[in-house]
A = this chain, B = another copy of it.
């Protein structure tokens, strides 16, 4: 009943907050941005501003990384998700779909197979995830 619906892609959060929410370091977050996994907005003074969607993505990145997927793999996985997210609207999506497919489909299968095979071995460093967010 209080006025605040706050859309999911509204730029709201500073990097410090996102660090706490995701348990990622600033370095990691910036690195993932550098590689196009997220594209946070900026303030007039060039500070990053993250949306809820950005945070969700970062949490997915973290999960996948914990499972041994590398950034290239995550990039492709995000591409696939983009396909399926436009789901129940079937008629004129096929064009956009095909475009993205051409770019990724071939190597996608290869990459996914490759990555997901070794997933679960090694890696998985960050322990039982509940470390101290918000002291």
Interface residues in chain A, defined as those with a beta carbon under 8 Å from any beta carbon in chain B: 2-4, 6, 10-14, 16-17, 21, 43-44, 49, 52-53, 55-56, 59-60, 134-135
Contacts and interface: CB of A to CB of B under 8 A. Distances in A.
Contact of A13 (B12, B43, B44, B53): B12
Per assembly, the copies of the chain total 2
A2 B43 contact: no
A53 B4 CA distance: 9
Contacts of A135: 44
19 contacts: A2-B52, A2-B53, A2-B56, A2-B60, A4-B21, A4-B52, A4-B56, A4-B59, A10-B134, A11-B134, A12-B12, A12-B13, A12-B17, A13-B13, A13-B17, A14-B14, A16-B43, A17-B49, A44-B135
A21 B49 CA distance: 14
Given A12-B17, A17-B12, A3 B56 contact: yes
Given A2-B53, A12-B12, A13-B17, 6 more contacts: A2-B60, A4-B55, A10-B134, A12-B17, A13-B13, A17-B49
